[in-house]
Structure 1
Amino acid sequence: MKDTRERLSHITLSLHWLIAFFILGLMSLGVYMTETSSYDLYPTHKSLGIFIFFFIVIRALWRWKNGWPQPVAQHKSWEEALAKLVHWVLILGTLAFPISGMLLSIGGGHGLQLFGLDLMSANLVDGQRQTLNPDLASIAGEVHESLLPIMLAAILLHVAGALKHHIIDKNNTLKRMLGFKNQ
């Protein structure tokens, strides 16, 4: 395994920040849509979710191939365990969000569209959308909705950990994630 204490690869940094930006944006958009019944935004939400899923899969494969970055400094065992748990929740959650959303759409008979391009046609009977698999749609909907508080908690812990490293521990963890070479 490569020693990543000094600097992370451009691929690692790019995938991290791209996915972070999209996941936070899609979570915000999802909350807005459900709170305001803004049904006209659902195609955009779904398309962005399908689009970012491609990068999420690449990131998961990249992480599997390259392992987790080595910590910049030594930490207490409970901190390392919590960091590992949070990282696993984030990587699995970023996979589960779009998968559950796509299964919800498919099971609900909506099909899958990527910015207007049919990846899977809606289930139409006599011109009316028909639920394809109500159980699949229900389970996927529950998973998709349940992920929000879990991911929010993991993101808050992740950010708090980064800030702790930077402000309290005064190590280069945050600088490394921002692409700066450690000094």
Structure 2
Amino acid sequence: MDQQHQLSKTSVALHWIVALFIIGLSIVGLVMSKKEIWFLYPIHKSIGTLIFALILIRVVWRVRQAWPKPIRQYARYEQVLSKIVHWTLITGTVLMPISGMLMSGVGGHGIALFGWELVAEHHSPTQPDQALPYSVFWAGVGESGHEIIAYILIAAIVLHIAGALKHHIMDRDATLRRMLGQDVSEQ
């Protein structure tokens, strides 16, 4: 159970596992799309599909636990910015894999989990090396959404890290230490 002075091991673990995977998948996604490194796509999709299960668990956990209470009282603008960034992160981490699965599955590329087919590929009968979308519109929505959400998530992650460092370095409060799993009740 989360408390103001210490977060549960479950909260800390879910936060860091999801955070590291989202950051890693975002970096890999940017590199593979810009450099057209095709062999990374099945790995990216498989890890993204797996982490989606943990993301859903994290969302349910966060809803049941509520947001952690601040270590101390902050300025109103900091509270508002914090809420916006946290909601952007939690919403973005849910929408990112959904848009990716929509782009890939509806786009005819299929969805596989390390080779285990979840959604079959759909190829053109006349050009077997070309994916045939089930719906061009929804595949496009997924592709556009995946790209837009990626950039929004990256911006939110940067703001989140900057906020954590501000708490730790400038405010010298225990917010970051609490997120690392420490009991900060005597600080």
Query: Normalising to structure 2: TM-score of the pair?
Result: 0.93
Q: Does 1:172 align with 2:174?
A: yes
Aligned-residue offset at 1:3: 6.0
Distance in 2 separating the partners of 1:41 and 1:169? 41
1:90 is aligned to 89
- Aligned partner of residue 39 in structure 1, secondary structure: coil
1:71 is aligned to 70
Distance in 2 separating the partners of 1:3 and 1:154? 23
Q: Once the two structures are aligned, what percentage of the paired residues are identical?
A: 44
Aligned-residue offset at 1:69: 0.6
2:138 is aligned to 136
Supply the AA of the counterpart residue of 1:147. Answer: I
Supply the AA of the counterpart residue of 2:165. Answer: L
| Contact residue 47 and residue 115 of structure 1 kept, 8 A | yes
Aligned-residue offset at 1:97: 0.6
What RMSD, in angstroms, separates the aligned Cα atoms of the two structures?
1.3
Aligned-residue offset at 1:47: 0.3
What does 1:1-183 correspond to in 2, within 5 Å?
Answer: 4-126=3-125, 128=128, 129-182=131-184, 183=186
Query: Normalising to structure 1: TM-score of the pair?
Result: 0.95
| Contact residue 15 and residue 55 of structure 1 kept, 8 A | yes
Distance in 2 separating the partners of 1:119 and 1:76? 48
Aligned-residue offset at 1:125: 4.9
Supply the AA of the counterpart residue of 1:75. Answer: Y
Distance in 2 separating the partners of 1:79 and 1:141? 33
Aligned-residue offset at 1:167: 1.1
- Unaligned 5+ runs, structure 1: none
- Aligned partner of residue 39 in structure 2, secondary structure: helix
| Contact residue 2 and residue 11 of structure 2 kept, 8 A | no
- Aligned partner of residue 113 in structure 1, secondary structure: strand
Runs of 4 or more consecutive aligned structure 1 residues displaced over 2 Å after TM superposition: 124-129
Q: Residue 59 and residue 3 in structure 1: after superposition, are their counterparts in 2 closer, same or farther (change >3 A)?
A: closer
| Contact residue 105 and residue 137 of structure 1 kept, 8 A | yes
Aligned-residue offset at 1:58: 0.4
Count residues with an aligned counterpart: 182
- Unaligned 5+ runs, structure 2: none
